């Protein structure tokens, strides 16, 4: 069973600073990590492979330095890694990204038929959750988003049963393979690769594809040209003027706390007490 | 099948990267193991880089290494609670083609230096902790055991650059735990400010830097120093004191840093900054007396793990770089000569260090750490006396100068006594000699 996991190298959002004047993200010196949501996808893919055999290929699109993330994925136990990198890809929005990735997956599929494509739920830098569904749409794959567990896979009849977190409950869905799954966070814990995995990752020669290698024919679908999204303005949210008021509760009875809370509210809104009295008189 | 390398380097700090680079460049098959997420991620320093020690490895490092500012001005401030008495040395000579000292951010610099090692052919494995050394039946070190499945890896020699705590050496029984009176605990914050603001506050141009070393009452009677270094778009501000002093005084290091930040001489320099990083680290400050056995059968030890810090001169990373390089050079020489990495042969490393500034400087100051630690008047009484003397001398208030001078002299005698003053002078002179 050939499984493809799409990952993205993202700046570690815990360590990002916003330039005080231009409001742009200052990327210099900010360490990069694998998008944390993608690790749930990778672990789920590795578990499927361990159970059913086959191989896991990790795929990413990004600058040459994104190979660090691929090597890290190999260190977790992935079998092969492909880096899509080309200046034609620069400035891609989700439409252009899903185009480039789906083209590359189609090529991987031609080399070795792909049964499942995994992505994380979304990335921590873009937060759109659009790339996974975009790939499924372009490749005509059944898509299972926000998956919280894989119940079973029937390799013979080419079908899969998953749990999907939905509003108000969990859906149990069955669909045919091949399919695309976007994994929900917290569904598993990424494994710690063995020393052998680390050696293999350090020695692996990654497959590096430019747009042409990946099978892209129409460059106008890639990068800035293929991206209708326009960033008009970036701004940092202003701190709110209103401040929270704290009411001391220690050593007080509930009635006293209620009284103090009301007094604080009335002090902040002088009209409130009168309005409430009127209301209660009217009823 | 278990992997075998010519050499395993434990750690990717200054010493480890210098050793790995030198070994790989000479064509040895070398594995470097780092516990952090990436080389540099765990490494904490002020930080000042001395160009000379890097040049010995990579002569043209200035072309692409991430450097913050070159240092053109060094200040030494002695603080009491409201003042500082200080010396500033600033020279246009430091604006030279190849500057001598730089401020750096270790996470970035170490990543860069490690990349040079990787490009030279070393294999680097991160997020992996070396638990202990593997030994054969004769006690010779033959490899390491890591905290991963199938974690045993073999090598002709292991270069221990695992930092101040030196846990690998300790767990393997080749060295003692660092004594609390031989280690300083330093805490620091990174205060981000626009480059122009830093330039203006310190009266410097874009790439010029100022460093301030701080002594005095700000250490609350403990032996220690504070520092303030200008980076490109941030100020590193920190303070460190001897661990056993923290224990005895029950002082929280974070509070000490808050006190430093609030000092009237420091507060205006960091006003309006955004704090994005808080880090704490141990510094080996026992000097020569803290240096452990430096090599043995199949192993050598370098950098902080070998206690190579010259606290009197704020030097450490250069000693680490130099010891890592020297260790590697001697291993390469043995390898090329086809000689085994025996305890006797690896003594070459000890000898080379004896002949270098690393051990010469540490020996010169071998009594200084203990002398200062046992005589807290140097960090408590004298800073206050100095500040009071300076204030008395400068304030014009109708008192005649001779009386003022007598008052100043009396204040010193009263605080320490004539014998005390003479004794203190002798102590420092002997320790410095």
pLDDT in tens, B210-226: 999 999 989 998 999 99
Calpha distance A159→A154 (Å, rounded) = 5
Is the Cβ–Cβ distance between B321 and B48 less than 8 Å? no
Same domain for A138 and A273, yes or no, is no
Q: Which residue has the tokens 């000699």?
A: B433
Q: Would the CA dihedral through B200, B204, B208, B209 be positive or negative?
A: negative
Is A199's CB within 8 Å of B125's CB? Answer: yes
Is residue A242 less than 8 Å (CB to CB) from chain B?
no
Give B276's contacts in chain A (Cβ within 8 Å).
Answer: 15, 17
- Interface probe for B, chosen from A19, A23, A195, A201 (most Cβ of B below 10 Å), is A195
Give B108's contacts in chain A (Cβ within 8 Å).
Answer: 29
Ramachandran bin of A184, using left for φ above 0, alpha for ψ from -120 to 50, beta for the remaining angles: beta
Same domain for A157 and A266, yes or no, is no
Is A194's CB within 8 Å of B38's CB? Answer: no
Cα separation values, A84 from A12, A73, A271, A274, Å = 21, 15, 63, 67
Same domain for A86 and A119, yes or no, is yes
Same domain for A161 and A114, yes or no, is yes
Q: Which helix (H) or strand (E) holds B325?
A: helix B317-336
Same domain for A161 and A244, yes or no, is no
And the tokens for B143?
A: 């490899």
And the tokens for B194?
A: 């626009």
For chain B, which ranges sit under pLDDT 70? Answer: 1
Q: Which residue has the tokens 């997956």?
A: A105
pLDDT of residue A29: 67
Is the Cβ–Cβ distance between B44 and B188 less than 8 Å? yes
List all residues of chain A from 59 to 88 with a beta carbon under 8 Å from chain B.
68, 75
Calpha distance A141→A179 (Å, rounded) = 5
Same domain for A141 and A259, yes or no, is no
Is residue A20 less than 8 Å (CB to CB) from chain B?
yes
SS (H, E, C) chain A: CEEEEECCEEECHHHCEECCCCCCEECCCCCEEECHHHHHHHHHHHHHHHHHCCEEEEEEECCHHHHHHHHHHHHHCCCEEEEECCHHHCCCCHHHHHHHHHHHHHHHHHHCCEEEEEEECCCCCCCCCCHHHHHHHHHCCEEEEEEEEEEEEECCCCEEEEEEEECCEEEEEEEECCEEEEECCCCCCCCCCCHHHHHHHHHCCCEEECHHHHCCCCHHHCCCCCCCCCCCCCCCCCCCCCCCCCCCCCCCCHHHHHHHHHHHHHHHCHHHHHHHHHHHHHC
Tell me the backbone φ, ψ of residue B283, rounded to 5 degrees: -125, 130
For chain A, which ranges sit under pLDDT 70? Answer: 19-25, 27-29
Tally Cβ neighbours within 10 Å of residue B339: 13
Same domain for A22 and A121, yes or no, is yes
Q: Which of A68, A194, A202 is nearest residue B150 as measured by Cβ atoms?
A: A194
Q: Which residue of B has its CA nearest to A16?
A: B276
Q: Which residue of A has its CA nearest to B68?
A: A29
User: What residues does B125 pair with on adjacent strands?
Assistant: B33
Is the Cβ–Cβ distance between B39 and B17 less than 8 Å? yes
Residue A279 in domain:
yes
Domain span at residue A258? 239-283
And the tokens for B76?
A: 């030494």
pLDDT of residue A28: 67
Same domain for A215 and A243, yes or no, is no
Calpha distance B132→B155 (Å, rounded) = 14
Q: Which residue of B has its CA nearest to A75?
A: B125
pLDDT of residue A269: 87
Domain of A161: which CATH number? 3.40.50.620
- Interface probe for B, chosen from A23, A191, A198 (most Cβ of B below 10 Å), is A198
In angstroms, the separation between the Cα of residue A88 and the nearest Cα of chain B is 27
Give B4-66+104-179+287-355's CATH code, choosing from 3.30.70.100, 3.90.550.10, 3.10.50.40, 3.50.50.60: 3.50.50.60
Same domain for A211 and A247, yes or no, is no
Is the Cβ–Cβ distance between A65 and A206 less than 8 Å? no
Cα separation values, B160 from A162, B14, B20, B135, B320, Å = 49, 12, 11, 15, 12
Give A17's contacts in chain B (Cβ within 8 Å).
Answer: 192, 274, 276
> pTM of the full predicted structure?
0.87
Q: Which residue has the tokens 């509003």?
A: A167
Which ipTM was obtained for this model? 0.87
Is B274's CB within 8 Å of A20's CB? Answer: yes
Total structural domains within chain A: 2
In angstroms, the separation between the Cα of residue B277 and the nearest Cα of chain A is 9
Residue B124's contacts (CB-CB under 8 Å, 6 or more residues apart) are A202, B12, B20, B31, B32, B34, B39, B114, B117, B118
β pairing state of B48-50 and B69-79: unpaired
Is residue A29 less than 8 Å (CB to CB) from chain B?
yes
pLDDT digits (tens, 9 = 90+) for A120-177: 999 998 889 999 999 999 999 999 999 999 999 998 899 999 999 988 899 999 999 9
Same domain for A87 and A181, yes or no, is yes
Residue A232 in domain:
no
């Amino acid at each position: 069973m050939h499984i493809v996991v799409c990952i993205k190298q993202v700046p570690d959002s815990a360590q990002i600073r916003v330039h005080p004047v231009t409001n742009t993200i200052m990327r210099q010196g900010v360490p990069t990590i694998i998008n944390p949501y993608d690790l749930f996808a990778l672990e789920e893919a590795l578990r499927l492979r361990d159970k059913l055999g086959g191989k896991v290929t990790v795929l990413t699109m990004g600058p040459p330095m994104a190979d660090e993330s691929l090597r890290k994925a190999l260190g977790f136990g992935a079998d092969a890694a492909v880096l899509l990198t080309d200046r034609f890809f620069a400035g891609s929005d989700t439409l252009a990204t899903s185009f480039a990735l789906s083209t590359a997956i189609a090529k991987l599929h031609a080399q070795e038929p792909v049964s499942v494509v995994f992505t994380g739920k979304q990335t921590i830098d873009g937060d759109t959750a659009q790339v996974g569904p975009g790939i499924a749409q372009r490749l005509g794959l059944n898509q299972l988003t926000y998956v919280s567990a894989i119940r079973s896979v029937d390799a013979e009849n080419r079908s899969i049963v998953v749990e999907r977190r939905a509003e108000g409950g969990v859906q149990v869905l069955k669909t045919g393979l091949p399919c695309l799954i976007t994994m929900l966070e917290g569904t598993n814990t990424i494994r710690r690769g063995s020393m052998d995995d680390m050696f293999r990752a350090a020695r692996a020669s990654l497959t590096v594809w430019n747009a042409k290698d990946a099978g892209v024919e129409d460059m106008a679908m890639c990068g800035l040209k293929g991206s209708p999204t326009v960033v008009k303005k970036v701004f940092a949210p202003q701190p709110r003027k209103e401040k929270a008021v704290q009411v001391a509760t220690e050593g007080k009875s509930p009635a006293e706390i209620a009284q103090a809370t009301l007094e604080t509210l009335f002090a902040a809104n002088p009209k409130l007490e009168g309005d409430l009295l009127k209301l209660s008189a009217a009823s | 099948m278990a992997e075998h390398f010519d050499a395993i380097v434990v750690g990717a700090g200054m010493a480890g990267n210098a050793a790995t680079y030198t070994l790989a460049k000479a064509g040895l098959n070398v594995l470097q193991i780092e516990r952090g997420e990436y080389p540099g991620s765990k490494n904490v320093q002020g930080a000042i880089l001395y160009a000379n020690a890097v040049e010995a490895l990579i002569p043209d490092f200035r072309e692409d290494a991430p450097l913050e500012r070159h240092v053109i001005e060094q200040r030494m401030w002695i603080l009491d609670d409201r003042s500082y008495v200080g010396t500033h040395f600033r020279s246009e000579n430091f604006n030279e083609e190849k500057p001598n000292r730089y401020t750096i951010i270790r996470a970035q610099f170490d990543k860069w230096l490690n990349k040079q090692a990787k490009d030279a052919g070393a294999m680097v494995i991160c997020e992996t902790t070396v638990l202990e050394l593997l030994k054969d039946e004769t006690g010779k070190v033959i490899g390491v055991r890591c905290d991963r499945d199938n974690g045993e890896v073999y090598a002709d020699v292991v270069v221990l650059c695992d930092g101040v705590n030196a846990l690998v050496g300790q767990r393997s029984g080749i060295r003692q735990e660092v004594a609390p009176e031989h280690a300083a605990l330093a805490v620091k914050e990174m205060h981000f400010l626009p480059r122009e603001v830093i330039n203006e506050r310190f009266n410097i141009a874009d790439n010029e830097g100022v460093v301030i070393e701080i002594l005095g009452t700000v250490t609350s009677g403990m032996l220690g120093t504070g520092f303030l270094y200008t980076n490109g778009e941030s100020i590193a501000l920190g303070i460190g004191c001897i661990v056993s002093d923290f224990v005895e005084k029950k002082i929280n290091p974070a509070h000490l840093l808050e006190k430093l930040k609030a000092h009237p001489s420091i507060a205006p320099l960091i006003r309006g900054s955004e704090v994005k990083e808080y880090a704490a680290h141990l510094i080996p400050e026992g000097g020569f007396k803290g240096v452990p056995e430096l090599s043995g059968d199949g192993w050598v030890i370098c950098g902080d793990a070998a206690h190579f810090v010259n606290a009197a001169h704020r030097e450490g990373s250069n000693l680490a770089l130099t010891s890592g390089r020297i260790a590697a050079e001697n291993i390469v020489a043995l390898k090329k000569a086809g000689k085994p990495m025996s305890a006797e042969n690896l003594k070459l490393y000890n000898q080379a260090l004896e002949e270098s500034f690393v051990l010469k400087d540490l020996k010169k100051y071998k009594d200084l750490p203990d002398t200062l630690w046992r005589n807290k008047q140097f960090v408590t009484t004298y800073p206050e006396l100095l500040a009071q003397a300076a204030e008395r001398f400068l304030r014009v208030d109708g008192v005649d100068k001779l009386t003022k001078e007598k008052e100043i002299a009396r204040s010193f005698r009263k605080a320490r006594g004539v014998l005390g003053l003479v004794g203190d002078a002798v102590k420092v002179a002997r320790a410095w000699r």
